[in-house]
Amino acid sequence: MLDRERPEPITSPLLDESCAGTDIRHGFFTRRGGVSRGIYEGLNVGLGSGDERAHVVENRTRVCNWFPLPPERLATPHQVHSSDVVIVDKSYDGARPKADAMVTAAPGILVGVLTADCGPVLMADPQAGVVAAAHAGWRGAFNGIIENTATAMEQCGARRERIAACIGPSISGPNYEVGPEFVDRFVRENTDNGAYFTPSTRENHSFFDLQSFILDRLAAAGIAAQPSGHCTYADEGMFFSFRRTTHRGEPDYGRQISAIGIVDGG
């Protein structure tokens, strides 16, 4: 994670194919290619972390340079695990509204979300020129962040059948152990949700498959999607992880970013 490295984000084959020949570009950034040190080592972009602000600003600039767009055109929300979505237009002024998804049809703006185990979802209707980034933790996904993001995209001219999406690096089922109250919440909502849980070796505990839950919410919303196949908890060299940090008793953690934008006109 030396600072001479350039960020090398993961991209989605589905989004690459869907957006081929357009000005839409996307990336699920890892922790590689940044200047942060210590527990934040690498490309930590979390303004809410305890990292040195100058390091975070430099890391966010490196993300924008990859597209390339100026840093002031990167729109990220103040995430609160909600189902709220904000539509961003060309007048974007750098504000960070409390929300968990951002949608834009404006060229020259990046919309992004920060994660450290939750599911980052990037979405695009290339024909309409509408893109979105959603932060889908269990609470947001459960309460409708996917569906609300799709609705906001439609308000900007998108159509469900043309939207392609990818769930980026996030915690995988074998590393996401939850208690009985968590399981009960999901099963009370829909007994079919029991399929996302498998028993763990701890009594009354289960493993939760967040990625499959998000993928199925996208499918139910009529959106073609694929997972990236990466687990943030298991791959410390590539990703920050809130749960890994918690298990180790560390005081804080870094955040990676996933972003998408229409780069023409930036």
Span 137-146, mean pLDDT? 98
pLDDT, tens only, 221-245: 999 999 999 999 999 999 999 999 9
Topology of domain 13-172+209-262 in CATH is CNF1/YfiH-like putative cysteine hydrolases (3.60.140)
Residue 3 pLDDT: 53
pLDDT tens digits for range 33-45: 999 999 999 999 9
Contact 110/125 with Cβ under 8 angstroms? no
In this prediction, residue 264 carries a pLDDT of: 79
The one-letter amino acid at 83: S
Residue 4: is its pLDDT beyond 70? no
- Which two structure tokens, joined as six digits, stand for 48? 């809410």
Q: What is the mean pLDDT of residues 63-92?
A: 97
DSSP state of 130: E
Give residue-wise pLDDT tens across range 207-224: 999 999 999 999 999 999
Between strands 164-167 and 74-75, the pairing is unpaired
What beta strand segments (E) does 3-129 contain? 24-28, 74-75, 85-88, 101-104, 110-115, 119-125
Percent of all residues in the chain with a pLDDT value above 70, rounded to a whole number: 98
Give pLDDT tens digits for 149-177.
999 999 999 999 999 999 999 999 999 99
Q: Which of 36, 12, 61 is nearest to 255 (CA)?
A: 36
Structural domain spans, the chain = 13-172+209-262
Q: Is the pLDDT of residue 2 over 80?
A: no
CA 60 – CA 237 distance, rounded (Å): 19
- Average the pLDDT over 136-150 and give the result: 98
pLDDT digits (tens, 9 = 90+) for 176-187: 999 999 999 999
